[in-house]
Structures are given as structure tokens and as C-alpha cells.
Amino acid sequence: MSILTYIAGWPLLAALVLIVVPRNFRVIIRAIAVLATLISAVLAVKMFCNYGSALPDADGYRFVQQIPWVESLGISYHVGVDGLNVGLILMGAIVAFAAALCSFEIQTREKEFYILLLVMTGGILGAFASLDLFFFYFLHELALVPTFIMIGVWGRGEKKNYATFQITLYLSIGALIALIGLIALYIQCGANTFDIPKIIEHAKTNPLAVNAQNFIFPLLLFGFGILVSLWPFHSWAPLGYGVAPSPTSMLHAGVLKKFGLYGLIRIALPLMPQAAQSWAHVIAWLCVGNILYVGWVAMRQKDLNLLIGNSSVAHMGFIFLGIASLNLIGITGAVLIMVAHGFLAALTFALSGYIYKQTGTLEISALGGLCRKLPFIGTALVMAAMAGCGLPGFANFVGEATVFFGAWKAFPTITVIALWGALVIGGIYMTRAIRNVLHGPLPEKWNSLSDASHLWRKLPYALLLASLFVFGVWPRLLTEKINPDAVKIVAQISPAPSADKLVAQSENSGVRN
């Protein structure tokens, strides 16, 4: 049994156990959920540390396990990690643990909530570990559906029903378009297997015809794009996150949303290189929509959660820009931001969830001066906001800087616009939010607020901040893992790879921090 099976399996097993626990054993239910996600997180850290010493298999994957599932279709349960997903799995497991800790805000129907949370965790970790197209999609859907139910049942605000149906329909359309793309890929490839390494191997000798690529690539791009809130398909995201209970937003915005990006890098780029090249301009211009337009929208938000939701959509633009640049530095940067943004999005939604729990509102004009009553939460929020504008020292800076270096070669104009969006617009809305929420006079009614008092309550925020720090100060932990696999992907896209410069690059950014 691979360690990956345990990482994804413990939460699912715990979900099954919870079904039989009576619903009034609240403490036990919560303890089981926290424990299962903790085990996952510890195992993920262990896996991450042992990554270097584990032996890769013939295709370059480590911790591999394969069990045939449906032989006649060539579907098998196949998990493994390489540099692209090792960071994502670590990030997902840590965020899931933090989300389980933050779930104390749920007071009704806890049993169902924790079951759904654990299913979501297991599904998404399994999807990232999966090296089989079918399971890749299947486990993602398994994680996606609990989101809808959680928003519908435990969501907040008057727009709950509208938001539930909007996110359900929007994301289902995206997932189904991607499914059609994946099936078409399977059939077009002709290898009669859903196994990703085998398909890629097969495509090396029998590359897909260009017109088939041009049919399938947009399906995957827009299917995954909807899931990742690519502009102009992003409108579900801010509202959905604004309404969702904070553990759900943490897991969805932080982890689940990265699925589409990961899919593009893992599947679409190596299998459809020509189409990727001809669509790169489209992706690059669309991500300007994310960075500039959605950033601009974020500036006008009056609700803290909507602001965070919009800023999270804006951050997706940097990742798309990295992918669109189609070179080694850009793709490495994209993977770095995926990991960094996962921690960041989870942290900000967890903090806004805490504030909402205390005050019952996230209306920015109603808040103010909270830092005096909530020193710990307030400080954490300042740090998160600074990480969000790309302050050096946090993981986001490393990723964004790397993406800009990569994108400069491919799209100089767009890079300039994106830099403007990242440094100026991001800076404006983040600092403005900090000023209005945390500083200034404290309204009378918030005198009774209490800060995260003991270690247990502080743990999720501290854990996420620490992760942002670690990868911000020591990005080599990730880049040295990503590099060899990103080289492989770039080699498949363009016959003449520019592999030489990355090492120097990552060292530079490491030094600068």
C-alpha cells in the first residue's frame, strides 16, 4: 500500500465511521474528524520529507500503487507523486487539518457536516494523487458535490439559495465539459487505457492529430477554466465563497480549485502541445481579465468575504499566466503559486470566518478597530493581506516573481499589465481592507469580542502562516522537486527546451528573501 492511499484513505474511512456514531456524541464526532485529518497531514509531511529518498518508477513517479479496477476499459486505481503534485498534496492535507480545526463554528447538524468535510478531503487528496484519468475526475467530483450541500445547508446570508444553485450548476457545467474532453482524449489517443503515464508514453510515438488537439484542448481549457474561475467564467466564485461556511471556502478555494490548473499542466500541456501553443495567447489575455478586471471589482467590494473571494479569483490569473507562458520558469512558478495560494486562501477565509463568528457581519463599514480586541486574529489577517499583495518572505512572492520572469519572455505587454495588477491594485484593496477592518475607531458594540484564546484555537491560523513562511523563505523545498518534472513537460511542448536557467533563478529568489 502506498502512503498516498493512506493520506486520502484515512479521511474517507473516518467518514464511514462517523455514519454509525450517534449524532449527540458531538465531541467524539469532532475528535474523529480532527484526528483523521491530522493523520493525513502528518503522513503528507512525512511523504514530502521522504520524497527525495524514495525511488521513482520507470515513468518518474514515486510512492506508486496500482490496482486494476475495470479491466475492459483500462481503468485502474493508480496513485503516485512527482514534483507537480507533491506540494499540492502536502498543502491539501495541511489545509484540510486546519479546516477541520476551524469547523467549531458549525453548531447545527455537526455529524453531517464532518462527514461531508471528510469526504471532500479524501476526494480531493485522492484526485491530486491519482494517475488515472477516470479516478482523477471521479475523485474530484466526489469532493465537489459535498461543497454544494455544505453551502446549501450551512451557508450564511439571504442569498444562500441563489448562491447554492449558481455554484452547483456553474461548476457542474465545467466538470461535465472537462469530462467530455477527457473521454475524447481517451478515445482519440487510442491506447485503450485511462492511465496517464501510459497515455503520455503512447502519445510520444503516436502524437494526437492537430485538429483533434484543437477540438479537445478548448474543452479542457474551458471546462477546467470554469472550475478555476477563469475570467469571464468566474462569477460563481466570490458569491459562493461569501456564502459558504468558512471550512468549505477554505477547502474549496484553497485546494479543490487547484484541480483544474493541475489538470491543465498534468494532462493538457504534455498531450496537446500544438494546441497549447496556439491557445496560449487566449489564455494570457483572459488572465488579464482575472488580474485586472476582477482586481478592480475587488476594490469596490463592501463585504470582506466578497473582497477575499474576488482577490482569490484575481490570484488565479497569475497561475494561468504562468501556464500560458509555456516555459520552464513560468510553469514552475504556476505550481509554486498553486501551493502558496492554497495556504493563503485557506488562511484568509479562516480568519474572516472567525470575525464573522464573533461579529455576525462582514460588512466592512460596520467593522473597524478590531485589532484592539482581536490582536492575534488581527495580526494574522495583516500578514495574510501582505502575503496576498506579494510581500517578500511569503510563498506567494516567490511564485509570482517566478511567473513574471517566465511570462516576460512570452508576453511582455501582458506581464506589465499583470504586474500593475499585482502590485498596485492588490496593494490598494488589501491595505484598504486592513485599515477599515482592523484600524481606526472601534465601534461600541464590538467591545465584547474575544480573541482566539488558547493554543487549540490559534493552531490552524498559526499552521497556515507558518507554511506560508517556510515556503516563502525556503522555496527550494518545492522548486528542486518541481524542476525535473517541469523540464519534462516543457520538453514535450517545445522541441528545444530552455532548461538551463531555472536553477539559477530559484536560487536568486531564495537569496533575495
Binding site for other proteins (CB under 8 A): 69-73, 134, 138, 141-142, 145, 148, 152-153, 165, 168-169, 172-173, 176-177, 179-180, 183-184, 186-188
Query: How many other CB atoms are there within 10 angstroms of residue 162's CB atom?
Result: 12
Pick 185 or 331: Cβ nearer other proteins = 185
C-beta closer to other proteins: residue 71 or 158: 71
Other C-beta atoms lying within 10 Å of the C-beta of residue 409:
15
Q: What is the DSSP string of 38-73?
A: HHHHHHHHHHHHHTTTSPP-TTS-EEEEEEEEEGGG
CB 272, min distance to other proteins, A: 15
Residue 186 or 318 having the CB closest to other proteins: 186
Could you give the CA distance from residue 4 to residue 82 in angstroms, rounded to a whole number? 12
The nearer residue to other proteins, 186 or 343, going by C-beta atoms, is: 186
CA end-to-end span of the chain:
39
- Least distance (Å) from other proteins to the CB of residue 266? 20
In whole angstroms, the minimum distance from the beta carbon of 154 to other proteins comes to: 10
Interatomic CA distance for residues 199 and 184, integer angstroms = 13
Minimum CB separation from other proteins for residue 79, in Å?
A: 17
Hey, what's the cell of 293?
478586471
190 versus 375: smaller Cβ distance to other proteins: 190
User: Which residue is it, cell 501582505?
Assistant: 386
Main-chain dihedrals φ then ψ at residue 290, nearest 5 degrees: -60, -50
Angle in degrees, CA 263, 352, 345, rounded to 5: 20
Nearer to other proteins among residue 29 and residue 44 (C-beta): 29
Residue 131 per-residue DSSP state = -
Shortest distance, CB of residue 25 to other proteins, whole angstroms? 16
Q: How far is the CB of 224 from other proteins (least distance, A)?
A: 15
Min separation Cβ 74 and other proteins, Å: 12
What b/e readout covers 123-146, taking b as 16+ CB neighbours within 10 angstroms? bbbbbbbbbbbbbbbbbbebbbbb
CB closer to other proteins, 176 vs 423: 176
> Shortest approach of other proteins to residue 101 CB, angstroms?
26
Question: Are the C-beta atoms of residues 194 and 132 closer than 8 Å to each other?
Answer: yes
Quickly tell me which residue has 514515486 as its cell: 62
Q: How many CA atoms are closer than 13 Å to the CA of 153, on its beta-carbon side?
A: 18
**CA-CA distance, 116 to 137, in Å (whole number)?**
18
Phi-psi sector, 25: left (phi>0), alpha (psi -120 to 50), beta: beta
Select 145 or 331, whichever has its Cβ closest to other proteins: 145
Smallest separation, CB 99 to other proteins (Å): 22
Least distance from C-beta 73 to other proteins, angstroms?
Answer: 8
* Cβ-based nearer residue to other proteins, 2 or 168: 168
Residue 445 burial (10 A CB sphere; 0-12, 13-18, 19+)? exposed
Return the SS3 of 218.
Answer: helix
Q: Which residue's CB is nearer to other proteins, number 116 or number 334?
A: 116
* Owner of C-alpha cell 478548448: 218
Cis peptide bond prior to 238, omega within 30° of 0: no
Quick one: cell of 282? 487566449
